[in-house]
Amino acid sequence: MIRRLKILEHALSSLLRRKYKNLAIIVVYSFTIMLLASILFLTHSLKIEAGNILLDAPELIIQKTMAGRHDLIPVEYADVIRKNWGIGKITPRYWGYYYDAFTHSNFTVLGSDTPLPILKMLEGTAPSRPGECLIGEGVAAVRQIGIGDELILINSEGLGVIFDVVGKFTASSDILTNDLIVLGEADTMDFLGFPPGKATDITVEVLNPKEVQNIAGKIKRDLPDTRPITKQEIIRTYDAVFNWRSGMMLTIFSSALVAFCILAWDKATGISGEEKNEIGILKAIGWDTSDILELKFWEGIVISLTAFLTGLLAAYVHVFYFGATILAPVIKGWSVLFPPFKLIPFVNLYQVFIIGFLTVVPYVASTIIPSWKAAITDPESVMRG
Amino acid sequence: MTQDTIIRTQGATKIYNPTLPDEMVALDNVSVTIHQGQATVLKGPSGSGKTSLLSIIGCMSRPTAGKVIVKDRDVAKLPERYLTHIRRKIFGFIFQQFNLIRDISVQENVALPLYPADAGFAEIRKRVHTMLDSFGILSKRKLKVKKLSGGEQQRVAIARALINEPEIIIADEPTAHLDRELAADLLNILAGLVREGKTVIIATHDPLIFEHPFVDSTIAMRNGKIEPQPEEQ
Ligand SMILES: Nc1ncnc2c1ncn2[C@@H]1O[C@H](COP(=O)(O)OP(=O)(O)O)[C@@H](O)[C@H]1O
Ligand SMILES: [Mg+2]
């Protein structure tokens, strides 16, 4: 044990001796780890959040289409839908997008008089009177307002409208609530300029989930200008999007790994004459081959673990505190994420383990293997200089 | 084998790159005897095989053929692991070009031979301090080796060779890079070691050494062979 500590001590002093070189290696190494871990943290957290949202999503959403595009749906369609068996609540939804010229942000405006599942996590109250609003954290942040303040928006007729902020979503994480402004239904219709009797879409509760496809088919038959979207389809779309993005990410992931391998390979192929000589000296003065391999093992482990932990920490901060700014160019497609939002940290230990395994092991191996050849050679060459 | 024989070679042969075009017979059937507690000098021109002989005697390499008997044990065919062990327990080496690790401290250099052994940190520190003190370089213990003068570096190298209390000290051309004054210092140190009862083996072609009174016997080499010596019985 003491022997091991002594060898570790020499490993540390060896590393300190080549401070700048080792620092450079740690920087590159940490950055690689950070990139890899950021990608995994980000996709994993987004997936979990999307999953959480979908958990609350209605089984069926009915949209009206017009010229192949999403159009406002007449509320009386609900009466046609109600004729089917096995249906629970039918709810017309009033929502739309709002471009905020002050802050160059996109907000989602949602009308609600009844508490929606996503309204669970809030501070203050939901709007109960006209002129009241509930806002997401992102809206509060870009507008720099909170509960008790006023939110001034420009309505569909170009006039300024004032809402009192009575509530705020606390879950800073939620992809859906971040850019959300919840108004009363009447306020929403007014503000976004809905024609009377029209809604954005209609959600349909299906009592027996196995019947969803069947009911969707019937609605489509009864109302040919609608498009029923099942929860399954949404999940599939999400999955496709995530998979596509994960694919992009994977590209970065692998290029980072390649960069890292180049670094490792460079180390593996080159062991300097100076290092060879030192190994010879140690052998000559009584170090075993195994002692030398242990020395190199410690050198590799110290660098690896330092870089690994630094990179992991940096990735955590990067993704969960700075909203993955470095990866932003790649994930631009997530326009729903604007205004900038914060993810709830979900970390998959298995993935962390994989990154560790894919980097630490090759690095340590690339430190030990080239020295191994020098370590098994007779130290005689040391005598000849 | 006489009572005071500590190392003996018997028909030791060392061939570099055997069977290759650049095959080199560095030692050709060499049989020598080193006596315990004596100073033995290997002399001969450059390329005569002195370093090769010191290497196999000091368990730094193995002969291609023949026997090398160190303290009654033939080490010629021992696996590497055992040779390392013997080097650690029995030998101290003083190299021509010091072979110190220049970027670490004096005390760490001197302590390195003790790292793979059983000694704990406190004991190592104590032994290193005592050793450095005896060479008058205790105050320099925290300096990097490269900051020291040539003479000081030489003392560090000797301190390192002696830290594991070896019975046999091997020095290969120890004065080649020293001025006359430092060379004289070194010889005094070596003479002192012999007086303490250590066995000292020196390879050199420096007349200052082999004419020095502390040298007990001289072995002359040429072309990988031992030259008959009138004064050797
Ligand atoms: N690793 C080696 N490969 C090939 N030839 C070598 C090697 N080491 C030494 N020699 C040769 O062996 C001969 C003896 O060398 P050496 O023992 O170093 O002599 P000395 O120490 O007396 O100068 C020299 O001709 C030298 O060139
Ligand atoms: Mg030589």
DSSP letter string over B104-142?
Answer: SBHHHHHHGGGTTSS--HHHHHHHHHHHHHHTT-GGGTT
Chain B residues inside the 8 Å CB shell of A13: 104, 108
Reported as a single tens digit per residue, the pLDDT across B36-84 is 999 999 999 999 999 999 999 999 999 999 999 999 999 999 998 899 9
**Does the beta carbon of B220 lie inside 6 Å of ligand 1?**
no
Q: Which residues pair with B5 in a beta bridge?
A: B35
Residues of A in contact with B87 (CB under 8 A): 284-286
Query: What confidence score (pLDDT) does residue B169 get?
Result: 96
The label of the residue with tokens 């999503």 reads: A57
* pTM for the model: 0.74
Q: Rounded to whole angstroms, how far apart are CA atoms A174 and B128?
A: 64
Taking ligand 2, which is a single-atom ion, which protein residues have CB atoms under 5 Å away?
B 51
Strand-pair partners of A100? A105
As given in the structure block, the two tokens for residue A228 are 């029923």
The distance from CA A109 to its chain's CA centroid, rounded to whole angstroms, is 24
Output the six-digit token pair for A20: 């700048």
Q: Tell me the CA end-to-end span of chain B in Å, nearest whole number.
A: 15
**A2/B118 CB distance under 8 A:** yes
What does the domain layout of chain A look like in residue ranges?
Answer: 2-53+240-384, 73-199
β-pair partners for A96:
A109
Distance CA A206, CA A85 (A): 9
Q: Which atom of ligand 1 is nearest to the CA of B27?
A: 14
Closest CA to B105 of B134, B137, B70, B81: B137
Q: How far apart are CA B226 and CA A267, in angstroms?
A: 45
Q: What is chain A's length?
A: 385
Which pLDDT value is given to residue B42?
95
pLDDT tens column, B151-185:
899 999 999 999 999 999 999 999 888 888 889 98
Best probe of the B interface among A380, A381, A384, by most B CBs < 10 A, is A380
For B30, how many CA atoms within 13 A lie in the half-sphere containing its CB? 36
* pLDDT tens track, chain A, 385 positions: 788 889 999 999 989 988 888 898 899 889 888 888 888 887 777 777 767 666 667 888 899 988 878 889 999 999 999 888 888 889 898 988 898 888 888 888 988 877 655 555 678 888 888 999 999 888 888 899 989 999 999 988 889 999 999 988 875 456 667 788 999 999 999 999 999 999 999 999 888 888 888 999 999 999 999 988 888 777 777 666 666 666 666 767 777 777 777 777 776 667 888 888 899 999 999 999 999 999 999 999 999 999 999 999 999 998 888 877 777 655 544 444 444 555 667 788 888 888 888 888 888 888 888 888 888 888 888 777 6
- Strand B24-30 to B5-16 pairing: antiparallel
Taking the C-alpha atoms of residue B173 and residue B206, their distance in angstroms, rounded to an integer, is 8
**Amino acid occupying residue A272:** S
Asked if residue B75 lies in contact with residue B45, where contact means CB atoms within 8 angstroms, the answer is: no
Q: Is B29 exposed, middle or buried (0-12, 13-18, 19+ CB in 10 A)?
A: middle
* A105-111 vs A69-71, strand pairing mode: unpaired
Residue B49 CB less than 6 A away from ligand 1: yes
Contacts of A21 in chain B (CB under 8 A): none
Residue B113 near chain A (CB below 8 Å)? yes
Here the ipTM equals 0.91
3-state secondary structure of A117: helix
Question: Which pLDDT does position A244 carry in this prediction?
Answer: 64
Q: Which amino acid appears at position A229 of this protein?
A: I
Residue with tokens 């560790």: A356
